Amino acid sequence: MHILLVDDNDLQREMIGLWLKGGGHTFDASATQAEFLDKLTRMRGDLLLVDWLLPDGSGAEIVQWVRERLGWEVPVMVLTANEDEETVVRALQVGADDYVVKKVKPRELMARISAVTRRVKPVALSVVRLGVYEADTTTQRLLVNQEPVTLTQKEFDLAVYLLQHPDKLLSRDHLLNCIWGLNTEVDTRTVDTHVSRLRKKLMLDGSHGWRLVPIYGLGYRLVHFEG
Beta-bridge partner residues of 223: 211
Are 133 and 142 in contact, with CB atoms under 8 Å apart? yes
Are 78 and 99 in contact, with CB atoms under 8 Å apart? yes
Res 147: pLDDT: 95
Res 181: pLDDT: 74
- Angle, alpha carbons 195-198-200 (nearest 5°): 115
Res 183: pLDDT: 56
Taking the C-alpha atoms of residue 213 and residue 219, their distance in angstroms, rounded to an integer, is 9
Res 124: pLDDT: 53
Res 67: pLDDT: 87
pLDDT < 70 stretches in the chain: 120-125, 182-184, 227
Res 122: pLDDT: 56
- Angle, alpha carbons 121-12-7 (nearest 5°): 65
Domain-wise residue ranges, the chain: 2-120, 127-224
Homologous superfamily assigned to 2-120:
Response regulator (3.40.50.2300)
Q: Which helix (H) or strand (E) holds 187?
A: none
Res 29: pLDDT: 95
| Own/partner pairs, 53-58, CB within 8 angstroms, 24+ separation | 53/8, 53/80, 53/81, 54/6, 54/8, 55/8, 56/32, 57/32, 57/33, 58/33
Question: What's the Cα-to-Cα distance from 212 to each of 44, 165, 169, rounded to whole Å?
Answer: 23, 12, 11
Q: Which residues make Cβ contacts (< 8 Å) with residue 138, sequence separation at least 6?
A: 126, 127
Res 198: pLDDT: 96
Is 1.10.10.10 the CATH classification of the domain at 127-224? yes
